[in-house]
Structure 1
Amino acid sequence: MTENRIPLDDLMVFHQLARSLNSSLDLDTILRTILDQMERIITADMWTLLMLDEKRNELYYAIASGNGEDALRDLRVQMGEGVAGWVAKHGETLMVPESEDNDPRLQRTIVAETRMVRSMIAMPLRGRKGVQGVIEILNPRASEMSDYTIAFLHILCDHAAIAIENAQDVARIQQLTITDDATGLYNVRHLYKMLEQELERGSRLRQPISLAFIDLDRFKLVNDAHGHLIGSELLMRVGGRLKQLSREKDMCFRYGGDEFVILMPETSTMDAFMQATKLHEELMNTRFHMSNGLDLSASASVGLATCPPENAAVHAIIGAADARMYEVKGNGRGKVRGA
């Protein structure tokens, strides 16, 4: 009887992949490790790894081998669309061999728009919670597409899917630790961390950092008139509106109670005042449609601080913005006080 043994080279690939996946919980590192190790199993023109965007229920190209990553970065694949979309939807491997009549499934594959695709293997990354993504192998060498190779790739995909799920779980837990439950914004603990980092970065790059301290006017009247549930809902909606009105590079935090902070990196005193004034005006003009049918509005007092020229310390810049906010409170409310 002939004894079948797994080649030592394949065992080493499996060992290195498992070791690498278990030593990191960083998703980008895990994805790069998956491609780097799997490329050693089968020769192909290109490898891509697509991840599932659960909110939009579509796939995006997270990483690719060679020089194809930039061309695919902004492309999206709908569930059921082309080869990768079919694999993600059905959770099954799909092999499209090279043929003379150009298989129509390849023509519907987005990656085919960036290069000539003659054949493909697409495998699901299926973990405990379902399909997390898809690995595409473009134009694999036909001589290497044996049952053994495909089976080995399946094993590696299973381990990769578990590692991806573990990394995503850790990321979700970390997100919860920096998120305010009531508003969904960052919490005050994360504010101090990010402000310290931005002050250090601003000092190193000689870039100003501005901060807006926002306090809702007469918010207690909302709780007294409509109850704390409506008050909490208004805080949530105001927080969402502040985030919507902020620039992409800005960060929004709930400081506590009815107080919010917006951190504005690379923003001068004048630019901060213009941005805060525009945001304040839009906020004041917003009508919030509450779950009980009420339409409420929110007034706010805003204080600004910028570093430099002010003290480049976390508590100093927060204190300066807070003090200016209280100046607004003492002079009629509903305005923006700049540095």
Structure 2
Amino acid sequence: MKIFLDRNKTLLPRVDKINLLARLLVLISICWLTFIDNSFEIEKNLFYILIGTFACQSLLFYIATINKFDIKLAYLSMIIYDLFFVPLVILNTGGIHSSYFLLFILTISVAAYVLTFYTSIIVIGLLSIGYILAISQTFDIEHMLNASLVFGFFWVFYFGLVYASEYLHRSESRMLKLLNTLNLRTSELEKYQAHLEMIYENSRVLASILDSDSIIAEVMHLMGKVLHYESYAIIFSDNKGNFLFRARYQNKKNSFHLKQIDKEYSELFDKACRQNNPLVIKDITNREDYQPMTKNSRSLMIVPMVAHDRVRGLLVAESSTAGYYNERDLQLLSAVSRSAALAFENSELHKKMEAMTVKDELTEAFNYRYFVQKLEEEKRRASRYQLPLSLIMVDIDWFKKLNDTYGHESGNMVLKELSRIIKKSIRDVDIFARYGGEEFAVILPQTPQVDANIIGERIRTNVERHTFMIEKGEKISLTVSVGLSSYPENGYSQEELVSLADKALYKAKGEGRNLVCIT
């Protein structure tokens, strides 16, 4: 049976010291009445025994208050001691005529405060029995009323204390619950504020970055090191409506490889882009329209990166806990997405400004200077992240003969049309440049040799099937020779890649033209 109430956590003053002070006052009062006032008449040896044991018990209680042993045991021993001490004092100071029954008030108070209801009822019952035994020798009918009043006082005082104690305990519990909630909210607000400040500082960094790869790296850092997501990704869409992972963190590893997402798992991404609103899915366990990045993912958050009403991509976060993401998580990721969207927009504007100085005026392909710069950057990135890189060189077959036959203006028209065909044959991430004269180059980031060969064959086939319009409405057909090289298969420097792709191009010409060759 449970004996003690749970009073470990309390807003109210602990009664330990109050109780100890009250017992010391009782000890002093008894000594005063005995030695000074002489109104406490008791046999001296018994008096010394009672005072000695009372003092020892009080000392024992004091030792418990300084955490030397369990305070509950000290209270229990004190209550048991009082059940003997107080009746003995009453018995030896006049019985029914003694006023020392008031000492029971201290015992009743302690029992009501520290013991459970039924345990304290037993204590009050034993206390009543002790009082009856103490007054039995001096009791008569004339004192029936006085004895009844004392008994009534004991029980009324006890029930009053129990009611007041329970009321205070309930109020205290509500107050503690409220304080715990306030502490939790304060902690959450402080954490939220810290996150916002960190996001603000990183947003300032993002605003100064003009390179898209560096923006992606910084956003991934924010999602991982600041917001501490378990799995997360940056997703872009191409001009055909396909969604691709541009960067992702899963199974405790970063990946910057481009990976197309299957159409059947793109519905949520498409919805977030169309509605221009974030999505929070509490449980994705049984969803068939989404494929989690990790097997144990349960909840999902998708936030579009929007700048000037244009969706520039998506930020995705996953958690292994169902219903993990709340409104604050959404606000934090939205803050990151806005900063990222503006950074990507700035980067895009910067590229457009650069394009005005790096584009070939006739074909609108990048010029040679830009080609050299981008090839160096892509080669450096491929080496850093251990990614494949390929280079395609394209040359028009018999172009000099075309110029001599139809004139340079027709040749320019062919170059423009060929430029459009090549652009349609490659991906958005590929870099198309005019290498010189009738020769073009295509840099294929994150593309192994096998895939580069497919793209080169696509360019060759599309040119072969196309009918070119030249001056005076005449139509002609052309072919191109294509050479390609790849990192790391064919070389480790950009100079080697260019040299080997050029050799492959002349090999195609030497073997009959209208071919794709690899060194």
TM-score, length-normalised on structure 1? Answer: 0.60
Give unmatched runs, 5+ long, in structure 1: 199-208, 265-277, 302-312, 325-333, 335-339
In the TM superposition, residue 182 of structure 1 has moved relative to its aligned partner by 2.5
In the TM superposition, residue 92 of structure 1 has moved relative to its aligned partner by 0.8
Q: Could you tell me how far apart the structure 2 residues matched to 1:23 and 1:168 are?
A: 13
SS in 2 for 1:33: helix
Instruction: Give the alignment partner of residue 57 of structure 1, picking from 241, 247, 254.
Output: 241
CA-based RMSD:
5.1
Q: Is the 8 A contact 1:80 1:89 kept in 2?
A: no
Instruction: Give the alignment partner of residue 20 of structure 1, picking from 205, 212, 223.
Output: 205
Counterpart of 2:337, as a letter, is: C
Q: Could you tell me how far apart the structure 2 residues matched to 1:285 and 1:144 are?
A: 56
Other-structure match for 2:295: 115
Other-structure match for 1:331: none
SS in 2 for 1:136: strand
Aligned length: 272
Q: Deviations over 1:55-107 (max 9, x none)?
A: 22222111112446559842225599332222122111111113xxx565x43
Instruction: Give the alignment partner of residue 30 of structure 1, picking from 215, 234, 242.
Output: 215
Q: Deviations over 1:207-239 (max 9, x none)?
A: xx9999875324154248xxx4x5533222344
Other-structure match for 2:477: 297
SS in 1 for 2:280: strand
Q: Could you tell me how far apart the structure 1 residues matched to 2:375 and 2:219 are?
A: 35
Of all paired residues, the percent bearing the same amino acid is: 16
Asked if 1:46 corresponds to 2:227, the answer is no
Other-structure match for 1:93: 278
Other-structure match for 1:162: 342
Q: Could you tell me how far apart the structure 2 residues matched to 1:153 and 1:196 are?
A: 34
Instruction: Give the alignment partner of residue 308 of structure 2, picking from 122, 125, 128.
Output: 128
Q: Could you tell me how far apart the structure 2 residues matched to 1:254 and 1:81 are?
A: 38
Q: Could you tell me how far apart the structure 1 residues matched to 2:425 and 2:343 are?
A: 37
In the TM superposition, residue 282 of structure 1 has moved relative to its aligned partner by 8.3
Q: Is the 8 A contact 1:42 1:144 kept in 2?
A: no
Structure that is richer in strand per residue: 1
Q: Deviations over 1:117-164 (max 9, x none)?
A: 321111111111511111111126568633333223322221221111
Give unmatched runs, 5+ long, in structure 2: 1-181, 379-390, 444-456, 482-494, 507-512, 514-519
Q: Is the 8 A contact 1:47 1:65 kept in 2?
A: yes
Structure that is richer in helix per residue: 2
Other-structure match for 1:145: 325
Counterpart of 1:45, as a letter, is: E
Counterpart of 2:260, as a letter, is: L
Q: Deviations over 1:255-296 (max 9, x none)?
A: 35xx436699xxxxxxxxxxxxx9xx9899666242886421
Alignment of 1:232-311 (within 5 A): 232-239=412-419, 253=434, 255-256=436-437, 259-260=438-439, 288-290=467-469, 294-298=474-478
Q: Is the 8 A contact 1:195 1:263 kept in 2?
A: no
TM-score, length-normalised on structure 2? Answer: 0.41
SS in 1 for 2:362: coil
Q: Could you tell me how far apart the structure 1 residues matched to 2:277 and 2:358 are?
A: 37
Change (3 A) 1:175 1:93: same
Q: Deviations over 1:292-320 (max 9, x none)?
A: 8642135999xxxxxxxxxxx9xxx9xxx
Q: Could you tell me how far apart the structure 1 residues matched to 2:242 and 2:392 are?
A: 37
